[in-house]
Structure 1
Amino acid sequence: MSGDNYHFGDNVTMNGGTGNTGIVKHYGAADGPSDLPPELRAALQDLLARVDALRGQLPPASAQMLDASLPDATGGAAVPAQTRQSALMSIAGIAAVVGPLGQPIVDAVTKILELLAAG
C-alpha cells in the first residue's frame, strides 16, 4: 500500500506564488447528480467545466465565492429550488463582473435556469 495516493475533498495547488489555481472542490460523481433529468445534468456539467476554465483568471476572493456557490447550484434534486436559483445567480453575477471572459458562464447559467423553469 505504500506509495498509493488517495484524494478526498479539496485539492490545493500552489506554484511558487504565481499561477495558483486555488482550491479545487470535488463534488460528487463526475456525471452529476443522478436524480436530475439528463439534459439538466449535462447543463450542470457544462457549467462546472466553464467554471473550471475561468477559476484561475479570477481574484482569489471571487474564486472562493464561486466555489462556495457550486454545491447548491449543481447538487441533486434535494437542493431546494430557491437555494439553487440563488446560487446560480451568484455564479452568474461573479462571471458578469469579469466581463467577456465570464460570458460563457452567464450563458450556461441562463440555460440551466431555462431548464429549471421548463421542468
Structure 2
Amino acid sequence: MSEDASAPTRSATSTTHHHGPVVTMHGGQGNIGINNGTSNATFGGPDRSDVALTAAVNELSDRLRELAPQLTPDQAQAVEDALPELVPDRTVLRERALVLASVAQIAAASGAIGQPVGLALGQLFGALG
C-alpha cells in the first residue's frame, strides 16, 4: 500500500499542513498579505534570522509611530505611508529600498528626536544581512 505524499503525517502533537496560499488576518490591521511559500515551522520552527528581522521591523515601526507626531505634516504623512511597507520579508524590504531611504532621511533631518529611528534602522539593516 502506497502512502499519499501530500497527506499530513499523524503524531502525538498536532500538525497543520497548508497546501497553497495562506492568508493570516489580524483584526483587519497590520496584515501583510499572502504567504505563497512554505513555513519554516514545517522544519522545526522559525529561523533565528527571521525572528531578528521581525523584531527589527517591529522596533522600527514602533519608533516611527512615536516620532510621527513631532514631525512636519509632510514628514508625518511620509512616515504614515511607509509603515505598511515595512514587512518582515527580506526580498520585499530590499525591493523597498527607497522607502527605507526616505525614513532614514526623515530621521536624520529630525535631529536628536530621530535618533531612535536611526538606531532601529541600523538593527533592521543588520537583520537584513
Structure 1 length-normalised TM: 0.63
* Higher CA-based Rg: 2
Structure 1 residue identity aligned to 2:115:
Q
Equivalent residue for 2:61? 48
Residues 105/80 of structure 1: CA separation in 2 closer, same or farther (3 Å cut):
closer
Corresponding position: 1:114 with 2:123 = no
- Once the 2 structures are TM-superposed, how far is the Cα of residue 52 of structure 1 from its aligned partner? 1.2
**Length, aligned pairs only:** 88
Residues 80/101 of structure 1: CA separation in 2 closer, same or farther (3 Å cut):
closer
Structure 1 residue identity aligned to 2:121:
V
Match of 1:79 among 92, 96, 104: 92
Match of 1:97 among 89, 92, 109: 109
Secondary structure, aligned partner of 1:28: coil
Equivalent residue for 1:88? 100
Structure 1 residue identity aligned to 2:71:
L
- Once the 2 structures are TM-superposed, how far is the Cα of residue 90 of structure 1 from its aligned partner? 1.0
In 2, Cα distance between equivalents of 1:67 and 1:87? 11
Is 1:70–1:87's contact at 8 Å kept on the other side of the alignment?
Answer: no
Equivalent residue for 2:50? 37
Is 2:56–2:123's contact at 8 Å kept on the other side of the alignment?
Answer: yes
Q: Percent identity?
A: 31
Any stretches of 5+ residues in structure 2 without a counterpart? 1-26, 33-38, 41-48
Any stretches of 5+ residues in structure 1 without a counterpart? 1-6, 9-25
In 2, Cα distance between equivalents of 1:64 and 1:76? 22
Match of 1:28 among 26, 31, 36: 31
The CA deviation string for residues 92-112 of structure 1, in whole angstroms up to 9 with x for no partner, is 111111100001101111111
